Structure 1
């Protein structure tokens, strides 16, 4: 292998690692926003776990953050407005990225 090949492999590995961290951070954000919304809706702990999984599934199957926001706006039915939902999602993502960077996120649920 040449130095160029070594460098290319290192960049690819770095890119894959960053993509994995971002995926884990977004999933952790979705989990947290699901628990947050479940608490607002007065759900039991068991219901909250199911709801958080549903939020993660919505992100993966229906097109990302905007699909999650639409679901939360609908499910919360006016208990929180879209601006507040976006604000909390951003807060949770910042926290989750820091945890992912520090290796503190191990699983999605």
Structure 2
């Protein structure tokens, strides 16, 4: 193997690792967002956990986070406005990244 091949393999490994971390952080953000929304909806215990899971799975509808936003926005109509939801999504994205990085 040449140095170039080793470097290429190293970059590919790092890319795969970074993609895995991004996926985990987004899923964690969605779960945290679902828990936050569940609390606003008055859900607790298993009902809150189940709701949070529906938020996580809503992210598989299309690329990006608009599908998650639509889910939360529709469920929280009258309880939280768009700016509040977007701000919470950004806040929890940072928190999820910290949590995933601490676990790694």
Superposition TM-score tier, normalisation by shorter sequence: over 0.9
After superposition, the Cα gap between the structure-2 partners of 1:18 and 1:69, relative to the gap in structure 1 and judged at 3 Å, is: same
On the 8 A contact 1:58/1:64 being kept in 2, the answer is no
Give the TM-score normalised by the residue count of structure 2: 0.94
Alignment RMSD (CA, Å): 1.2
User: Structure 1 segments of 4 or more deviating over 3 A?
Assistant: none
**Aligned residue in 1 for 2:93:** 93
> Shift in Å at residue 101 of structure 1?
2.0
What is the count of residue pairs matched by the alignment?
A: 104
Asked if the contact 1:58/1:68 (under 8 Å) is kept, the reply is: yes
Structure 2: how far apart are the matches of 1:60 and 1:51? 15
**Residues 1-109 of structure 1: matches in 2 within 5 Å?**
1-103=1-103
What SS class does the counterpart of residue 61 from structure 1 fall into?
coil
Unaligned runs of 5+ in 1: 105-109
